Each structure stands twice: as structure tokens, then as C-alpha cells.
Amino acid sequence: MKKLTALLVAVLAAGVAWGVTPSAAQQACPPGQVGNAPYCTTPPLPAACGKFTSKLSLARATISRLNRTISILAPITRLASGRANIQLHAAGRRTSFSAPVDSANGRIRVTRSVTRAQAILGTGILTFNYPGDADTRPQVVRLRAANVQAKLSGTRPTISPTGLLQAQGIVTIRAQGVVRVQLEFVNRVNGETTTLEFKVRIEGGKWILSVQLPAAVLQQIALRCGTVHSYTLFTGYMPRRIRGEMISYQVLPSQ
């Protein structure tokens, strides 16, 4: 009888333990939530989730030998304000200046004097540094300034339900190298901005991107706050003095 009682107590104790210890599946909360199931909560969004991408791109950056100037046209979101810091690195010299954001027209447009040697060379590396503002994220763009158009164009990148990233377009037949397609999004858990870059070889003035995104990347995108934005850019081609150009697109909406 004592043995039976002891066995019954052991079984009951085990049953209690089984009842209060949830399985691993029960403990896990859905992506984007914290705690232990069934007590899962959604944490407050990081401050970065309240900001928008700058949509900064480069339509033109030409150098005039006659006037010794550089002329720049860079579209940007109308939400942006403040000034952008700009630097031209050419002929062994750096010419630095800033330009105001024209919020009404969504652009940065400026003409600035350069050195005689830079004007004669007619090309150089242009770095845009937009520091951001209260509702717009910062962005840095680095492309070649030159007078020959890249004639960059492309389709809006798409991500299929299975995670296939696709885009295509053209550049001038004289261009060589790669077109870069970047995806940008913000993680709703930690507020970090993620930028993924894909390089596509130019062949006969055409470029075609078709790549399967890994499952881990698709999960990061699913945990985003705000949009998934893309930047399609050709950084330029020095041997033929072809300038860099850049286009921005929204790939996925906010969620």
C-alpha cells in the first residue's frame, strides 16, 4: 500500500510538472513580439520607424570647363529640409560646399565654382551627404560627376510572393561595369536601417536582375516598419567620362 501511495504521488507530481511547463512552441512568440506565449506583447516602435527614406537620387552632375563650375540636380523627398553637404574630389583636390534642400520642388539644385584643374579634367567623384531631419532619414550618395549621360533607366524592382527579386533596364551602350540595385528598410524591433546591394553586369547596354532572396532576408523584410525602398544606380565610367546616375523607387508599402 505504501509503495502504491508513493507511486501515485510521483505520478501526480510529474503531471503537475507537465502541466506548468509549456512546450518550446508554446513559449515562442510570433515574430515582432516579445515575452512568452501566451503572454506576448508588441513592443513600442523605435524612433527610426517614424522617419521616411530621403529618396535622394542624382539626375545630373556636370562640369563646365568654360565657366569652371559644377552643376548638380538631385531629386529628394519633399519631406526633406535643411542642407546637404557636397564634396567633389578631382585633380587631386577636394572642393567642399553645402546646398539647401528645395522642399517645395523636392530637389537640391546648385551651381558652384571649382578649381581650374578640376574644370579642365571635367570629371571627379561627387559625394552627397544628407544628414536627415526630424522626419527624414540621412543618406550618403557617391557617384561620378561628368558630362556624358549614362542614360540610366530601369523598371521598378519587384519581390514575388516566393521572394524572387527582379528588375531590368538600360544604360548607354558605351558604359561598362555594373548597375547596382539597393534595397533599404528599417527593422521595427531595433530601428536599424538595412541596405542590401545587388550588382548586375552591364551587357550591350542592358542589365537584368533576377535573384532569389534568402529566407532570413524575407523575414527581416516582414519585420520592417515603413516601406521597402530601392535605389538603382550606375556609379559612372571614367575611361569615357560617363557620369553616375541614380533612380529611386518604392518596392513595398508600409505595414
Q: How many other CB atoms are there within 10 angstroms of residue 236's CB atom? A: 25
Cell triple for 101: 534642400
Residue 15: the pLDDT is: 42
pLDDT at 153: 97
Would you state the pLDDT for residue 32?
63
Give the span between the Cα atoms of 175 and 87, in whole angstroms: 24
pLDDT of the chain along its 255 residues, tens only? 444 444 444 444 444 443 444 454 567 777 667 777 777 876 677 888 889 999 999 999 999 999 999 999 999 999 999 999 999 999 999 999 999 999 999 999 999 999 999 999 999 999 999 999 999 999 999 999 999 999 999 999 999 999 999 999 999 999 999 999 999 999 988 899 999 999 999 999 999 999 999 999 999 999 999 999 999 999 999 999 999 999 999 999 987
C-alpha cell at 109: 539644385
Q: Which domains does the chain have, with CATH numbers?
A: 53-147 (2.60.40.1940), 149-255 (2.60.40)
User: Measured between alpha carbons, how far is 41 from 30 in angstroms, rounded to an integer?
Assistant: 9
Chain centre distance of CA 188: 15
The pLDDT, as a whole number, for residue 209 is: 98
| Nearest of 126, 123, 154 to residue 141 by alpha carbon | 126
For residue 31, the model assigns a pLDDT of 66
Query: Is the full-model pTM beyond 0.85?
Result: no
